[in-house]
Amino acid sequence: MGVSVVPSTSESGFIRSARSARERINRAIHEELRRVGTAALCLVSLTDMRKLLVSIFALSLAGCTSAQPLAIDLSPSAERGLKISQQSGCASCHGSDFGGGTGPTWQGIIGQTVAFKGGESGIVDRDYLIEAIKYPDKKKRVGYSVVMPYNNLTDEQISDIVDYIEALSN
């Protein structure tokens, strides 16, 4: 991979865990190759498989950032919306601070014009957000290849989340 680690008597925990993760990845690759046999070697090289697994590991670490939602004064419903969005996994795509990621930012989004696939555009307002959360594949945003998953949120929970998104725009 082009990165060399110089051994030291005082290795950080991160380096030890990264080395341990690399060893687990290598073991997993070799076990999978033994399981599927040599036919897999014709389809995927060991180097490509290692790159894929290292990328997955790096992405999983990226999801463990220390960023937190903005410290702002929230109404009780917006406070509930923050908690619901954290518990429902919204932060995994919209960012741990809701500043964006594989999904669009929630910060300052109210009133913005956004483009949808198919050539339409619209203003982000309460009605749009409710529709986007209830029916995530109805209007797909340009620039985002990941489609938001359907959820089991109630109308009240969706309203609370929208209250939180609106608070991030004030």
In whole numbers, what is the pLDDT of the chain averaged over residues? 74
pLDDT digits (tens, 9 = 90+) for 90-140: 888 888 778 888 889 899 999 999 999 999 999 999 999 999 999 988 888
Kindly tell me if the per-residue pLDDT of 8 is higher than 80. no
Here the contacts of 124-129 (C-beta below 8 Å, separation 24 or greater) are 126/162, 126/166, 129/161, 129/162, 129/165
pTM: 0.58
Three-class secondary structure of residue 115 per DSSP: strand
Percent of the chain with pLDDT over 90: 32
CA 63/CA 69 separation, integer angstroms: 14
The predicted structure's pLDDT at residue 91: 86
* Residues 141-169, mean pLDDT to the nearest whole number: 91
Kindly tell me if the per-residue pLDDT of 3 is higher than 50. no
Kindly tell me if the per-residue pLDDT of 63 is higher than 80. no
Q: Which residues of 99-125 are buried (b: 16+ CB within 10 A; e: fewer)?
A: bebebbbbbebbeeebeeeeeeebebe
58, with CB counted inside 10 A (0-12, 13-18, 19+), is exposed
CA 118/CA 163 separation, integer angstroms: 29
Kindly tell me if the per-residue pLDDT of 22 is higher than 80. no
CA 20/CA 161 separation, integer angstroms: 39
The predicted structure's pLDDT at residue 115: 93
CA 134/CA 22 separation, integer angstroms: 40
pLDDT digits (tens, 9 = 90+) for 145-155: 888 888 999 99
The predicted structure's pLDDT at residue 148: 85
Paired tokens of 145: 């290849």
